[in-house]
Amino acid sequence: MFKKATYWAISGLKHSKLMRVALAVLILALGATFVAWYKLFREVEQVGLKTPEEWFKYGSIGSEASQGIPYWIWRVMPKMFPEYLPGPGGYAALGVPWERGRETPVGFSIKTIGFPRVAFNCAFCHTARYRLEPDGSPTLVVPGPAPTINTQAYARFIAAAARDARFNPDAILSEIDRVYELPWLDRLIYRYLLVPSTKKALIKYGQQFGWTEEKPDWGPGRIDPFNPIKFGILQMGTDGTIGNADMPPLWNMKARAKHALHWDGLNTDFHEVVVSSAIGDGTTYKSVPEDNLERLEKWLWEVPAPASPFGFDKAADSPYRVDAKRAAAGKAVFDQHCADCHAAEGKRTGSVIPVGELGTDRHRVDMWTAEAAKRYNAYQKEYDWGMRHFQDVDGYVSVLLDGIWLRGPYLHNGSVPTLRDLLKRPEERPAVFYRGYDLLDPVNVGFVAQGAAAEQTGFRYDTRVPGNGNQGHLYGTELTEEQKQALLEYLKSL
Ligand code: HEC
Ligand code: HEC
């Protein structure tokens, strides 16, 4: 009896010792799992963004999980590899606006998923920047079309930096040390995990975009938005098409509610366009931030076009003064020659005008095919993104002209620098000009596209390069000089 009790006591002791060891191992394992989760996957809501506009500029669209670059690597890259940027000044060399006191330029979000990650968002391409005077300070307009931002240069920069031998843990950590003291665990994580995995991911990203090197450069303010989707998520294989397109404004989407969207009208549903834009930027089904996108949609629906810097009330000697009488005459010209396609109530406004009738460069519309539309509508059906409205079209949308003073260069491919040039016959439009300079041209309406300063900051746009053609849209080209001047005066105030 005694023996038995002792036996039980002893074996119980053994048992409980074993249990304790097991428990300790379990706790350690759980602890390690927790730390790994906490340091690598824990998702933290962004704080400090107050208005929908701030969300648009700095909010996450859910692409950090798949595309985010660890903040500290992103932060030191321009210092380590300035030679891969198009000019001096760090990321500002990409033409991105940087507001005082912010950790990133407009168009980039920082979201913590385990560790802070940086990714670009809609404002990367949909933020306009302009100046009225050469030495004046720039004004930002969200959600305007970005005339200065060179997204291709960004893609090239991060890929080239990653391929460089100096992109290694020692070099990157010592560069980080100069600006921030990483806690020891973060340091280990950067050294053994983040630097090697980011290097690999960015090299792969560069390879995925390799096809762009065989096609004409986008230059600032333009991208080839749908070929990456065709070649990537729709798995259609690369082809010879060129889809280079200007960034459009996203203000007042309510007024475009019944319009075909995108330059060629390839989708007719605003919500689908927003979600597919986010997918194009790296949002995945798991990461799609419904609340953020909904907030964004609501805001884009209502946010008005910016007030024009042109006005009847400007000083008599200001180049921004609009002549009221002339503008009234211009409205009559507009009503007769343009309103059908461009006025809010125009019969053909917002519809796709066949490229045969319009005559502008075909490349962008030929890039998108019936097969691509079919695949996108079927895309990941099991997840039900709900895409139903992608279509194949053969023309370009007759867009509303609100805020047209800020939308140069003009046409879907940005091939005509100013409104005055658009009213000239194609052979008289500039064959070569410079885009990406943010100074407004109040006389011709658009951005200054010639001269030393434009050449120095701008991208040389040659209309003879495939996809860059400036032909077509002959409307208004046969008007008298007087009528053209009047029409221009009217367009300034839209
Ligand atoms: C890398 C640049 C880039 C980013 C980032 C980007 N867009 Fe765009 N967006 C474009 C370009 C270029 C077009 C015109 C494409 C075309 O039709 O060829 C466009 C078109 C659109 C349109 C159609 C507008 C119209 O009037 O037809 C909407 C809406 C839109 N984008 C919303 C978004 C939203 C929302 C986001 C973020 C989730 C976003 N975009 C991110 C470049 C971008
Ligand atoms: C038959 C329809 C039609 C008529 C008439 C018409 N346009 Fe257009 N307009 C279009 C289409 C379609 C586009 C887009 C073409 C493209 O990008 O290739 C366009 C583009 C434009 C753009 C460039 C918009 C941008 O954001 O880059 C301006 C400016 C413009 N038109 C002004 C005018 C003026 C001024 C008139 C009258 C003299 C006029 N249009 C007459 C159909 C028309």
pLDDT tens profile 401-413: 999 999 999 999 9
CA of 28 to the centre of ligand 1 (A): 48
Q: Cα 93 from chain centroid?
A: 16
Cβ of 410 less than 6 Å from ligand 2:
yes
Pocket around ligand 1: residues whose beta carbon is below 6 Å from it? 61, 120-122, 124-126, 151, 223, 225, 245, 247-248, 250, 256, 261-263, 273-274, 277-278, 281, 296, 364
| Spatial separation of the C-alpha atoms in residues 288 and 60, rounded to whole Å | 10
Find the ligand nearest to 490 CA: 2
Which atom of ligand 1 lies nearest, measured to the CA of 121? 5
Which atom of ligand 1 lies nearest, measured to the CA of 397? 27
Tens digit of pLDDT for each residue in 257-290?
Answer: 999 999 999 999 999 999 889 888 888 877 788 8
Q: Is the pLDDT of residue 9 over 60?
A: no
**Residue 408 tokens, joined:** 């140069």
The dihedrals phi and psi of 262, each to the nearest 5 degrees, come to 70, 160
| Spatial separation of the C-alpha atoms in residues 118 and 121, rounded to whole Å | 10
Count of all residues that appear for the chain in the document: 494
Read off the pTM.
0.93
Angle at 250 between CA 443 and CA 484, to 5 degrees: 25
Give residue limits of the domains in the chain. 1-40, 52-302, 324-492
Q: Is the pLDDT of residue 84 over 50?
A: yes
Which atom of ligand 2 lies nearest, measured to the CA of 340? 5
Which atom of ligand 2 lies nearest, measured to the CA of 338? 37
Q: Whose CA is nearest to atom 6 of ligand 1?
A: 122
Average pLDDT for 368-394: 83
CA of 248 to the centre of ligand 1 (A): 7
**Residue 137 tokens, joined:** 């300070």
pLDDT at 388: 87
Which atom of ligand 1 lies nearest, measured to the CA of 61? 38
Cβ neighbours of residue 340 closer than 8 Å, sequence gap 6 or more:
346, 347, 348, 349
Residue 85: closest CA among 18, 1, 159: 159
CA of 277 to the centre of ligand 1 (A): 6
Residue 107: closest CA among 165, 59, 177: 59
| Spatial separation of the C-alpha atoms in residues 343 and 334, rounded to whole Å | 9
Cβ of 143 less than 6 Å from ligand 2:
no
Tens digit of pLDDT for each residue in 165-198?
Answer: 999 999 999 999 999 999 999 999 999 999 999 9
CA of 275 to the centre of ligand 2 (A): 27
Find the ligand nearest to 124 CA: 1
Residue 461: closest CA among 244, 212, 188: 244
